[in-house]
A = this chain, B = another copy of it.
Amino acid sequence: MQIKRIAIVENGKKYFIKDTNISLNVSEGEIPRTKMKEDLVETTKGNFIHLYDANFKDNFQNIQKPAAIINPKDAGMIVAYTGMTKDFVVIDAGAGSGALACMLASLCKKVYSYDINEKHVLAVNENIKNLDLKNITCELKDIYTLDPEERVDLMTIDVPEPENVLETAKKGLKAGGYLVLYTPQINQAQKVIEKLDNNFHCETTLEIIKRDWEIDDKKLRPSHNMLGHTAFLTFIRFYPKLNDVKISKKVTNARKDARLERAKHKKTISEKEKGNMISDF
């Protein structure tokens, strides 16, 4: 059930309200159900409580998690790197808890999610309902053999043998679409890259590392606690060709891309790059 409203006491204490038709009875006093839509309420004990609408994040933090969920640092990179827009249609497999699928659905047009674990599919569908998402489905299907319902802009893949999704990707991606692999092990990425043919262009494999800082009037330093690793992200773009050719030199463009990126960070884009027609491939 969705969190509808959040109540915050002056001292910062928070209450999550799932049903606004019943009164809230807490140690600070009671808020009658008739006042659940107001911004600021004085409780029966004379305390002031602020009320506001719960947003997607408030609910997202409470989804069911039968499997480890994707970290915001990684989910965000997928959205930003692939240039996702509201018009994107996405295939996500294996869905796991559905965190990535639901997060993408909150931003894009349509998400098809799949998992081969029945418990996961049940949890994802529960999460979809609680997050009140209308543009996402989760089905018990195997991505390795999936026959996609339509060509999509993005496929996000978190399965043990991602090299087995390449044929599905050819059938399911639009020209110019992205295949993104989420792989805990680096050699999982390597196996896919070795199997790519000329229909795919591997742009990069990367890790996103998050360092939290602790800051107050005394502290100004990174946090001692740190999550050392979640997964490697591999970004592969699909450019369909007439004749499949095995790529002899299966190198990523990471080196070139990094150089370009460093250059871009410092100065504006060169005249050449502003030109009408560019070949950067």
Taking Cβ atoms with an 8 Å cutoff, the residues of A that contact B are 6, 8, 10, 12-18, 26, 39-40, 48, 50, 52-58, 60, 62, 64-69, 71-73, 75-86, 103, 106-107, 153, 174-176, 184-187, 189-190, 193-194, 198, 201-202, 204-230, 232, 239-243, 249-252, 254-255, 257-259, 261-262, 264-266, 268-269, 273-274, 276-281
Contact A227 B261 (CB under 8 A): yes
A82 contacts across to B, CB distance below 8 A = 57
The answer to whether A225 and B255 touch (CB under 8 A), given A185-B219, A207-B210, is yes
A208 contact from B10, B83, B208, B266, Cβ within 8 A: B208
Contact B52 A174 (CB under 8 A): yes
Contact A262 B206 (CB under 8 A): no
Contact B72 A258 (CB under 8 A): no
Docked pose: A6 CA to B254 CA in angstroms = 22
A204 contacts across to B, CB distance below 8 A = 212-213
Q: Which chain B residue has the least Cβ–Cβ distance from A193?
A: B215
Docked pose: A222 CA to B227 CA in angstroms = 10
Contact A153 B55 (CB under 8 A): yes
The answer to whether A13 and B279 touch (CB under 8 A), given A208-B73, A214-B254, A215-B252, is yes
Number of copies: 4
Contact B252 A214 (CB under 8 A): yes
The answer to whether A186 and B276 touch (CB under 8 A), given A206-B212, A239-B12, is no
Docked pose: A13 CA to B279 CA in angstroms = 6
A249 contacts across to B, CB distance below 8 A = 216
Docked pose: A205 CA to B186 CA in angstroms = 14
Q: Say how far A86's CB is from chain B's closest CB, in angstroms.
A: 6
Contact A50 B12 (CB under 8 A): no
Contact A223 B258 (CB under 8 A): yes
Contact A211 B207 (CB under 8 A): yes
A268 contact from B66, B73, B194, B265, Cβ within 8 A: B66
A77 contacts across to B, CB distance below 8 A = 72-73, 76-77, 210
The answer to whether A227 and B262 touch (CB under 8 A), given A186-B221, A281-B13, is yes
Docked pose: A265 CA to B228 CA in angstroms = 11
Docked pose: A7 CA to B216 CA in angstroms = 45
Docked pose: A274 CA to B198 CA in angstroms = 47
Q: Say how far A57's CB is from chain B's closest CB, in angstroms.
A: 3
Q: Say how far A251's CB is from chain B's closest CB, in angstroms.
A: 4
A215 contact from B84, B190, B265, Cβ within 8 A: B190
Contact B65 A14 (CB under 8 A): no
Docked pose: A6 CA to B223 CA in angstroms = 37
